[in-house]
Amino acid sequence: MTELLVGTKKGLFVLEGEPGAAFAVKARAFAGEPVEYAMRDPRSGRLLASVTSPFYGPKIWHADDPAGDWQQAEGVALPEGGDAALERIWVIVAGADDGTLYAGGDPGVLFASRDGGATWELNRALWEHPTRPSWQPGGGGLCLHSIVPWPGEPGRLALGISAVGVWLTDDGGETWRHGNGGLAARYLPEEAPANTFDLCVHCMHRSPRRPERLFLQFHGGVYRSDDAGESWTAIGDELPSDFGFPLTLDPADPDSAYVIPLASDQDRVTPGGRVRVYETRDAGATWTPRGDGLPGEHAYLTVLRQAFDRAGEGEALELYFGATSGDVFGSGDAGATWFTAASRLPPVYSVRTA
Amino acid sequence: MAVVKLRGPLKQLAGGRSEHPLHGATIGELLRALERDQPALSGWILDERGTIRRHINVFVNGEYGRQDTPVEPDDRIDVLPAISGG
């Protein structure tokens, strides 16, 4: 049985099912509220959800039972009396050591929790980084959306921030440096300095069996790093479009990645009305379209950056993604064939397996 | 003392109590006093800057007010989510 936590414009939906057939809605929480992201901590089983009320601002909530009582986490705020307010929490990720969780948000901020998500603390080094006055938001805000721990090395993290590029730490967040070598922004003038950090990263993941390898979906471009995010190589030339948002990979295969191309920056729907996931098994040298069972015509879907995830690995790899149309699609055979897991949900913001 | 009236989730966070008599010379002062009195409301009406959230409306005796609107001891202050949509 696979559990999907689907964050939508109108609440959290907890789906359960087996690959190949429609999933059932087992619980709904935060009815009517935008749930940007929800995850289940695999170590504790605790659920965490990011909810941004248009009236009352962004909060993180936690619960053991999605249909039970949710508790508001403490400390999810910027320093009082400043000139900025927290706009949104984009992502929550389990750290490499027990009990640690990270949350990323707008305006380009990182929070850490050492107690499983009940209390959070702002990462001051990133908040007070001397380059921050020059940071520019992307269209979705100044969003810290990708947090990539290094298995077995809690001090090492990579972050993706739109539009401030890749950030790396080796000391648990005491200091931060850029990891932007090789990223090329087509939306900047040719005269832009080579060391610019106006870089719109859309999504980033690490291959757990080869942690120095990362894959990145950029605002125009798909990239691979073989040196832990210090430098990047473009690998998207074979795709029908290298614009898109989400990305995932097969943990068993460091040469694997999956992306869902959208037509272009100006036309953020599946190209040609066909929904296709593209898979590489040779680190981006070639890409194979995977669409057996996905809508093949008249389907102009938008898949957001947090709306694609996986469960299992290798031949048992399951893939799931949701669209703002309210559809959720799944594959139980690593993308070879697909089925509709749910339809007619509210617009899907995030999909996470548990 | 002026009385701050809450509804919905704000009332629930304030211990289920709707009416909160408080001292303050302006709406901003009253709302900060309310947060001190009801810490669970922190971050729900005022953001980290101490500013009333964009989609929260505050009324003094039925008239729309702002952060610096003066408040008299007998005034009634309603805190309501803004109407959204069409």
**Is some CB atom of chain B closer than 8 A to the CB atom of A125?**
no
Q: Which two tokens stand for residue A112?
A: 């850490």
- Total CB pairs under 8 A between chain A and B: 41
Place of tokens 């089925």: A339
Mean pLDDT of B72-76: 95
**pLDDT score recorded for residue A140:** 83
CB contact under 8 A, B48 and A59: no
CB contact under 8 A, B56 and A85: no
**What confidence tens digit (pLDDT) does each residue in A55-91 have?**
999 999 999 999 999 999 999 999 999 999 999 999 9
User: Complex ipTM, two decimals?
Assistant: 0.81
Instruction: Provide φ and ψ at A208, rounded to 5°.
Output: -65, -30
Instruction: Provide φ and ψ at A129, rounded to 5°.
Output: -60, 135
Burial A243-252 (b: 16+ CB within 10 A, else e): bbbbbbbbbb
Give ∠ CA A25-A92-A287 in degrees, rounded to 5. Answer: 80
Q: Which two tokens stand for residue A257?
A: 């990645």
Q: Quickly state the pLDDT bin for B82 (edges 50, 70, 90).
A: confident
Of the residues B45, B49, B51, the best mutation for testing chain A's interface (the one with the most A CB atoms within 10 Å of its CB) is B49
Instruction: Provide φ and ψ at A99, rounded to 5°.
Output: 85, -15
**Is some CB atom of chain B closer than 8 A to the CB atom of A127?**
no
**Mean pLDDT, chain B, integer:** 93
Nearest to A245 by CA among A201, A207, A286: A201
Count other Cβ atoms within 10 Å, centred on residue B5.
15
Q: Quickly state the pLDDT bin for B25 (edges 50, 70, 90).
A: very high
Contacts with B45 from chain A: Cβ below 8 Å: 56
- Give the minimum alpha-carbon distance from A53 to chain B in angstroms, rounded to a whole number: 9
In angstroms, what is the C-alpha Rg of chain B? 12
**pLDDT score recorded for residue A189:** 73
Contact indicator for A342, A2 with CB cutoff of 8 Å? no
Place of tokens 């957001």: A304
CB contact under 8 A, B48 and A56: no
**pLDDT score recorded for residue B86:** 54
Residue A236 to residue A222: CA distance in whole angstroms? 5
Burial B26-47 (b: 16+ CB within 10 A, else e): bbbbbbbbbbeebeebbbbbbb
Q: Quickly state the pLDDT bin for A45 (edges 50, 70, 90).
A: very high
Strand partners, A322: A328
Instruction: Provide φ and ψ at A230, rounded to 5°.
Output: -70, -40
Of A180-184, A189-193, B17-21, B51-55, highest mean pLDDT: B17-21
Alpha carbon of residue A110 to chain centroid: 14
Q: Check whether A158 has a pLDDT greater than 90.
A: yes
Nearest to A175 by CA among A231, A236, A129, A142: A129
**How do the residues of chain B divide into helix, strand and coil, expressed in percent and rounded to 5?**
25, 30, 45
CB contact under 8 A, B53 and A86: no
Mean pLDDT of A37-63: 97
Q: Check whether A165 has a pLDDT greater than 90.
A: yes
Contact indicator for A40, A93 with CB cutoff of 8 Å? no
In the sheet that holds A88-94, the strands lie side by side as A88-94, A101-106, A109-113, A121-122
Nearest to A55 by CA among B38, B46, B75: B46
Give the number of C-alpha atoms closer than 13 A to the C-alpha of residue A129, restricted to the C-beta side: 22
Residue A93 to residue A102: CA distance in whole angstroms? 5
CB contact under 8 A, B9 and A84: no
The gap between the terminal CA atoms of chain A, to the nearest Å, is 10
Nearest to A340 by CA among A331, A329, A350, A351: A329
Mean pLDDT of A182-191: 82
**Mean pLDDT, chain A, integer:** 96
Query: What are the residues of chain B with a beta carbon less than 8 Å away from any beta carbon of chain A?
Result: 9-10, 43-45, 47-51, 53, 55-56, 81-82, 84
Residue A350 to residues A61, A106, A257: CA-CA distances in angstroms?
A: 16, 16, 19
**Percent of chain B scored above 90 by pLDDT?**
90
Place of tokens 């053991």: A64
Query: Looking at residue A83, what DSSP letter applies?
Result: S
DSSP H helices in chain A: 124-127
Q: Check whether B85 has a pLDDT greater than 70.
A: no
Range scoring the smallest mean pLDDT among A47-51, A116-120, B58-62: B58-62
Q: Quickly state the pLDDT bin for A36 (edges 50, 70, 90).
A: very high
Mean pLDDT of B16-33: 97
Which residue of A lies nearest to B39 if distances are taken between CA atoms?
Answer: A74
Residue A3 to residue A15: CA distance in whole angstroms? 6
Range scoring the smallest mean pLDDT among A68-82, A130-144, A169-183, A254-268: A130-144
Collapsing DSSP to helix, strand or coil, B34 comes out as: helix
Q: Choose among B9, B53, B84: nearest Cβ to A57.
A: B53
Residue A68 to residue B31: CA distance in whole angstroms? 31
Q: Check whether A330 has a pLDDT greater than 60.
A: yes
**pLDDT score recorded for residue A154:** 96
Check whether the bond before B73 is cis (ω within 30° of 0): no
Q: Check whether A138 has a pLDDT greater than 90.
A: no
CB contact under 8 A, B51 and A85: yes
**pLDDT score recorded for residue A273:** 97
Residue B76 to residues B22, B53, B70: CA-CA distances in angstroms?
A: 10, 20, 12
**What confidence tens digit (pLDDT) does each residue in A83-113 have?**
999 999 999 999 999 899 999 999 999 999 9
Contact indicator for A199, A220 with CB cutoff of 8 Å? no
Q: Quickly state the pLDDT bin for A186 (edges 50, 70, 90).
A: confident
Q: Check whether A191 has a pLDDT greater than 90.
A: no
CB contact under 8 A, A56 and B44: yes
Q: Quickly state the pLDDT bin for B84 (edges 50, 70, 90).
A: low
Do the strands B76-81 and B2-5 form a parallel or antiparallel pair, or are they unpaired?
parallel
**What confidence tens digit (pLDDT) does each residue in A306-316 have?**
999 999 999 99
Collapsing DSSP to helix, strand or coil, A68 comes out as: coil
Interface of A with B in 51-70 (CB under 8 A): 54-57, 59
Which residue of A lies nearest to B40 if distances are taken between CA atoms?
Answer: A72
